[in-house]
Structures are given as structure tokens and as C-alpha cells.
Chain A
């Protein structure tokens, strides 16, 4: 009953090489989609929340977009410090406060 699927599993980028991460979800009646960044040995760090199709959020080199079936996290001109695992999660429609997480995309940006 996978509700959240992220692709690719891993992504290796050269510094400055823009790319996008995908998060597809199957829940109906989306009540919120969250993007987090996780560094090794650390807890996930909140980046964005998106609620409705067409919504976009930006923070520095990151931009998150949302459609009715998926979300994209665009990384523009990445730097080595953008290396991390990026996690997508959706709010469970039946249990307020419960997030369903994807497995994440591990991003490595090399100088």
C-alpha cells in the first residue's frame, strides 16, 4: 500500500548542474505534502509544505511544485552543501498528524 514513491533513489550531480527529484503519491484528498532534508546522523529538517495543485514554494536553490499526483523538488545550480537525502511525506488522510514518508532521494553534489 505504498502511498509515497520517490525517484530516483540516488542522484549524483556536478556543482551547478540543475536537476529535479520526483515524489508521486496515491492518497486521495491531499491534506498536505511535505519536503524534508536529512543529513547523515541528523534528523529530517523541514523545507516546504504544499497543499494544492499548482502551488510552488522556494528557498534558496530549492523549489517545490505540486500537481494532483506528484511533487517535484527542483535544485537549481546546486552546491556541495546541498548534498543530503531529500524526503517527501504526505499527510495521512485518515489520521491527522500522521505522515507517510517516501524512502528518499540521496543527492550528492561534487565540486
Chain B
């Protein structure tokens, strides 16, 4: 009965590789997000989608590309991974913008 699930939980890869993180929510929410939590524990928004439409696109390198095949899924593709991309990436959803966010349990990405 997981509300927001993301896979994988851990991802270890080498610099220059391309990787994807998948996210699914079964809450029936219209809005989904990707947040990044760095080593200092700050959570910062990367992207937001509402009904498959990109709403928020923060200053994120264009190596990061979100894809939303339907309103229950929001995947994150990362090309040419760099050491600085190492972080925990959280997917979240909300009923609408401004409503409380429901987070997944994160994907810890380590780039070596």
C-alpha cells in the first residue's frame, strides 16, 4: 500500500554514465515533484509536473531530464553523471500545488 514509491533505493555508478530513477504514486494526486537532498540535508526542488505538464523547472543542469508518461509516474533521467550529482533524490506528490507533499523514501545516488 506504498503511496509514493521510487526505484532503485540505492544507485552506485561511475562518472559519465547515464542513469534513471523511477517514481510512481497511487494517491491519485495531480502534481508530482523531484527534490534533491544534498550532504547538508537541504531539500531543494528540481522539477514539478501537473497532469504530465512541466510546471516548475529550477536551475538544474540540462543533463537532468524528467519524464512523466502519465500523472501517476514521474521519472528522472540523468546523463553524463558527475561527482557532484551524488545526493539523495526524493520523489513527491500532492493533490495540487500548495497541498502537503507526500514523499517517497528516496534514491541515494553515489557517483564514483
- Residues of A that sit less than 8 Å from B by CB: 31-32, 34, 36, 41-46, 49, 85, 87, 89, 91, 95-99, 101, 103-104
Contact = CB atoms under 8 A, between A and B. Distances in A.
Main secondary structure of the interface of B (DSSP, over half): strand
A44 B44 contact: no
B66 interface: no
Interface in B38-73: 40-45, 48, 50, 55-56
B84 to A, nearest CB: 19
12 contacts: A42-B106, A43-B104, A43-B105, A49-B100, A96-B97, A97-B94, A97-B98, A98-B48, A99-B101, A103-B40, A103-B41, A104-B41
B105 A44 contact: no
Nearest to B58: A98
Given A34-B100, A46-B100, A97 B41 contact: no
A36 B94 CA distance: 14
Contacts of A46: 100-102
Interface string B86-112: 000010101011101111111000000
Size bracket of the B interface: 20 to 34
Chain A CB count within 10 A is highest, among B94, B100, B105, for: B100
B103 A98 contact: no
A31 B31 CA distance: 18
A97 B43 contact: no
Contacts of A95: 56
B33 to A, nearest CB: 7
Nearest to B94: A97
A91 B98 contact: yes
B28 to A, nearest CB: 16
B4 interface: yes
A46 B50 CA distance: 20
A98 B56 contact: yes
Nearest to B45: A98
A107 to B, nearest CB: 14
Contacts of B55: 97
